[in-house]
Amino acid sequence: MVLRVRVSLPDRPGVLGQVARAFGVLGADILQVTVLEREGGRAIDDFTLSWPGGFAADELRERLSIVPGVRIDGVWPTREVPGVSPDYDLLGHVASDAERAYVTLVDAVPDLVSAEWAVAVDSRTGAVVHGSWQAPGVDEMPDLTPLRPAAFSEGPLHLLSLPLKEAGLHLVVARSEGPAFHQVELDKIVRLVEVVSQLAASTVDRTVA
């Protein structure tokens, strides 16, 4: 099992090593560490772990609690494969078939931020145009389309919502396990959406020409 673990820890020498040793005692193999922020003497890091046996978030929290000042903000399964660049793969697929750019984006984006599903929503009507694997079987999501890119929560769901202005759509990305989306995750998807939109527009321009 591959897990994503979000850890808040004191930003001082030696603490990261203590956290790594605690994971090692549990038999977990650290595959990747992503720094999300460093501010006010603390850091927030995402660890991607190869985890033996069953999924026990409480056990992780208990073991890491022995490191002074360390807090686990979330533990959740991920389909992420460290060492692979799914964002580049996404852009490659879009470039090769730009007419399906937004469908490809919706299908691929959950794996880019360890989310569960994504949908494209018509910005005008709120109708769901396309959903990825595991997307809920609903016809409309009218309340999830703010004017600007945003990360927020609705009940148990943590959400990202980004306008795809050129297509008249909104991209909505969700996870119910783990913590709320971090600003770094939102910024990553915003940049990818900008490139995907440019690739999609280039196909229209060539067609018109």
pLDDT of res. 52: 78
pLDDT tens-digit map of 149-183: 999 998 889 999 999 988 899 999 999 988 999 99
CB 98 within 8 A of CB 199: yes
pLDDT tens-digit map of 29-60: 999 999 999 998 999 999 999 887 666 777 77
**Which letter does DSSP use for residue 99 in this model?**
G
pLDDT of res. 54: 67
CA distance 170 to 162: 6
